[in-house]
């Protein structure tokens, strides 16, 4: 069974590469620290909205020390346009404190260390490792839950289980790119509501029983 699923998933990823050749992480960043902060800010918020805020935010606060030098009320005001801005500001401050105290102000390159930062779970940690550091990892967001379930590759809504299965089925060197492609497919074609099954390039491979209703 795992060989069949591996073959299916590789076929899907190959087709998605042709469908979305320009697929990329849509958060703007120039280094691992900026991506870490942007990903914390992106919780329950669109990447486009986060990019609007970080365009100014990263110029004002280029490193952990800069974030710690400003009072919490000002930081909350700086990110006020985003959802849950009060809590996110607290997470950012606490995260920066940990980076300075434990890692010399640098972003660690191990998921075990990253998840110790307030506001950082495995998804955020893996996104930073994969995209800002080039370390193989799969960050399981809502799209990475929905798409593999519809395809029939996984039968779980648990992010940790989905990460384990995808990592087991895919060659390590393809984790990062496959992750981005699956996310794009979920965002632009295999959407949560009204999926565009009639336009889907992996329609024939998909095992979702409801796909005919949207074709």
Domain that holds residue 104: 32-132
Distance CA 167, CA 174 (A): 9
Q: Which residues contact 20 (CB under 8 A, 6 or more apart)?
A: 181, 184, 185, 188
Contact 138, 179 (CB under 8 A): yes
Q: Are residues 103 and 194 in the same domain?
A: no
**Are 119 and 42 within one domain?**
yes
Question: Are the C-beta atoms of 38 and 88 separated by less than 8 Å?
Answer: no
| 110 and 150 fall within a common domain | no
- 120 with 151, same domain: the answer is no
- Are 95 and 66 found together in one domain? yes
Please say if the pLDDT value at position 2 is more than 90.
no
Do 120 and 81 share a structural domain? Answer: yes
Q: What is the mean pLDDT of residues 139-144?
A: 97
Could you tell me if 114 and 177 lie in one domain? no
Domain boundary among 103, 132, 161: 132
State the burial class of residue 200 (Cβ atoms within 10 Å of its Cβ: 0-12, 13-18, 19+). buried
pLDDT at res. 19: 98
Which are the catalytic amino acids? 123, 141
Same domain, residue pair 71 and 14: no
CATH code, 184: 1.10.1670.10
Q: Are 110 and 88 in the same domain?
A: yes
- Among the candidates 132, 158, 184, a domain finishes at 132
Q: What CATH number does the domain containing 123 carry?
A: 1.10.340.30
Do 102 and 15 belong together in one domain? no
Residues 41 and 122 in one domain: yes
Tens digit of pLDDT for each residue in 38-65? 999 999 999 999 999 999 999 999 999 9
Query: Among the three residues 111, 132, 153, which one is the final residue of a domain in this structure?
Result: 132
- Sign (positive or negative) of CA dihedral 102, 106, 110, 115: positive
Mean pLDDT value across the chain? 97
Instruction: Answer yes or no: is pLDDT of 159 > 90.
Output: yes
Are 45 and 91 contained in the same domain? yes
Mean pLDDT calculated for residue range 24-45 = 97
pLDDT at residue 1, as a whole number: 55
> pLDDT tens digits, residue range 77-126?
999 999 999 999 999 999 999 999 999 999 999 999 999 999 999 999 99
Number of domains in the chain: 2
């Amino acid at each position: 069974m795992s060989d069949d699923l591996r073959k299916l998933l590789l076929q899907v990823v190959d087709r998605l590469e042709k469908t979305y050749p320009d697929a990329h992480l849509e958060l703007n960043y120039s280094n691992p620290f900026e991506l870490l902060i942007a990903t914390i800010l992106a919780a329950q918020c669109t990447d486009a909205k986060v990019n609007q805020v970080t365009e100014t935010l990263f110029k004002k606060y280029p490193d952990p020390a800069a974030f710690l030098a400003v009072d919490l009320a000002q930081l909350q005001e700086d990110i006020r346009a985003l959802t849950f801005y009060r809590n996110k500001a607290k997470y950012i401050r606490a995260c920066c404190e940990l980076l300075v105290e434990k890692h010399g102000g640098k972003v660690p390159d191990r998921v075990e260390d990253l998840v110790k930062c307030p506001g950082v779970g495995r998804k955020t940690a893996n996104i930073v490792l994969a995209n800002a550091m080039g370390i193989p990892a799969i960050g399981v967001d809502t799209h990475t839950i929905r798409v593999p379930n519809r395809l029939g590759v996984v039968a779980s809504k648990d992010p940790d289980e989905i990460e384990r299965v995808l990592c087991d089925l895919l060659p390590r060197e393809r984790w990062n790119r496959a992750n981005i492609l699956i996310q794009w497919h979920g965002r632009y074609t295999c959407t949560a509501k009204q999926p565009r099954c009639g336009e889907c390039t992996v329609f024939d491979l998909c095992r979702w029983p409801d796909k005919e209703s949207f074709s």
